[in-house]
A and B are shown apart, each in its own frame.
Chain A
Amino acid sequence: MESTFTNSTTAVLRTRGGAVDSFPPALRRSFEDCAVQVVAVMAACRALVSRAILPLHFHYVCRGVMLTHIREKKRWMKAYTLIMERKRKMEGPPPPKPRSQQPNFDYNAEVEAFSARLQESFSMELLKTAFVNTCYLRSEEERRRALGLDLETTALNLKDNDELCVHGQQFTKGFLNDWCRGSFPSLPEEGVAAVVGHLTGSEVMCHVARNLALEDLTMSAEFPVPDETLQGTFFAVIGALDQSSGPVRAGLFIRDFLVSQLIGKDLFDMWKVVDPMGLLVKELTRKGIALPEPRLIRSAGASTVLPLYFVGLYSERKLLAQGPGETVLAAEEEAARVALRKTYGFTENRRPWDFTAPGEKLQKPSVQALTSG
């Protein structure tokens, strides 16, 4: 009796215009095997009825399940949703995709906008070369070889950014060294090297590169772009700028984006000095000033958990600097550091650096007071 029922429904389905073919294979198999499952038959009847009424919209759920609008409660929906949730929780978040593989990205337009946004006129070829990394070229060639493409017809006409990177690195380091020596004439060589090393280190450079949207345009083998690759790309961009617009514009670019990262930073965050007192003694002997004598100036709470001592450094009975600390030795070291900051001109209340654009001039206050007090 069941088989006749199945046969009749199958015949009916077939006469309604081959609807069986578009059913999912599981349902089709159940019909063909004649191993009747009541649920499948009911679903088939339901789908048949609604299909006869509304053949217009297809609700795409996933590759295996496609159904028309059914008025009844979709009893499989809750189980399906729960399974997908469990799967998503098990697998974790999907791996990040580079911006170039997400919708709405036109590489040419983005590169031109990059150049316009920074108010620099780059030469497009140099800039596009600067973004191409060696790892990308290697991975692209391997991919093409794996796909079996003929290497002659599909050769990659891209040059990588090695030369630009080296050139940019040399230019940046040279410019930063000159700037540092010009702004802090009394800073010794190790100090200058430490500051320049901090500014050209991968942390600062990658931070600046990420906030200038270089990561979107970089062509590299892996995503997220590793720090060294990003740093190399940034150097290559600076090299491209130098070759397109000249050293003056490139210098202004480095000043605006790298030197401004020094704002608010303390000298000894970047330059690890183990023995500040010895360094201070060396500085003072070089200048011919008498050696510093430490004296305890203030103390408070000596027998408590948080004692405070102020130690002052005197040379020829004149106060050089004073510094606080929890122990007398710590206070002496801090006083030596304060004295070094004063000597090198890296105090918090120093004159700010000049960031004016090349066309403008700093307005000096030239108006004299009208009333004398």
Chain B
Amino acid sequence: MTARGTPSRFLQSVLHNGVGRYVCQLKRISLIFSKKGQGSLGVRDFIEEGVVDFAKSSPGTVVYISPQSCRITKIVAEYLNGNVKEETVTNKTSQEIAELITKLSNQSGLDIIRIRKPFHTDSSSIQGQWHPFTNRPPSIDPVGSQTK
């Protein structure tokens, strides 16, 4: 679809993140997989090898492992601004899942839609925004001293 038909937003950050301290925006990640299905092999390998390192490296994110009988292996990521992102990871390898989880933890929770401008500023003008009267010479001559 065209740009007008699809949603778009301006470049922004959640609560001016980064101006003060940087807060990792991923608050919760849940791995939903099956204990015996072939599609969950990658996730099971990731849980054996990499999930503990990931949990240690991001102490602000809670990692939930929930084995259930399911056909579709999912990763559910919840962000501080309330957005929930579900990714299907059936038949993915452990390496791909690790990369995906790093990508999810680096995102803020804002929607992945077209960003209208790649820049944003709160102080748009230092010397004052131009308007047609800036630097325009006055239309009447200066009024001299009004002595009669």
Contact = CB atoms under 8 A, between A and B. Distances in A.
A100 to B, nearest CB: 12
A113 B131 CA distance: 51
A355 B16 CA distance: 11
Contacts of A211: 14-15, 80-81
Interface residues of B, number: 32
Contacts of B123: 264, 348-349, 352
B44 interface: no
Contacts of A257: 15, 20
Interface in B7-54: 14-16, 19-21, 23-24, 27-28, 30
Contact of A117 (B15, B23, B126): B23
Interface string B53-78: 00000011110101000000000100
Contact of B23 (A106, A109, A118, A348): A118
Interface of B: 14-16, 19-21, 23-24, 27-28, 30, 59-62, 64, 66, 76, 80-82, 122-128, 131-133, 136
Given A113-B62, A257-B20, A348-B125, A298 B80 contact: no
A356 B101 CA distance: 30
Contacts of A260: 15-16, 19-20
A210 B15 CA distance: 10
Nearest to A298: B133
Given A119-B21, A213-B27, A256-B20, 11 more contacts: A106-B62, A109-B62, A113-B62, A117-B61, A212-B23, A255-B20, A261-B15, A263-B16, A264-B122, A349-B123, A355-B19
B21 A349 contact: no
5 contacts: A106-B62, A117-B23, A255-B20, A260-B20, A263-B122
A116 interface: yes
B60 A208 contact: no
A15 interface: no
Interface string A336-370: 00000000000011001001010000000000000
A148 interface: no
A268 to B, nearest CB: 17
A334 B68 CA distance: 65
Q: Dominant SS at the B interface? A: loop
B39 to A, nearest CB: 20
Interface bin, chain A: 35 or more
A254 to B, nearest CB: 10
A213 B21 contact: no
A104 interface: yes
Interface of A: 103-104, 106, 109-110, 113-114, 116-119, 207-208, 210-213, 216, 252, 255-257, 259-261, 263-264, 298, 300, 310, 324, 348-349, 352, 355, 357
A14 to B, nearest CB: 34
Contact of B16 (A252, A261, A324): A261
Contacts of A106: 62, 64
A355 B20 CA distance: 5
B66 to A, nearest CB: 6
Rank and list the top 5 A-B pairs by shortest CB-CB distance, nearest first: A256-B20, A117-B60, A264-B122, A116-B59, A260-B16
A104 B61 contact: no
A212 B80 CA distance: 6
A103 B122 CA distance: 40
B14 to A, nearest CB: 5
Contacts of A117: 23-24, 27, 59-61
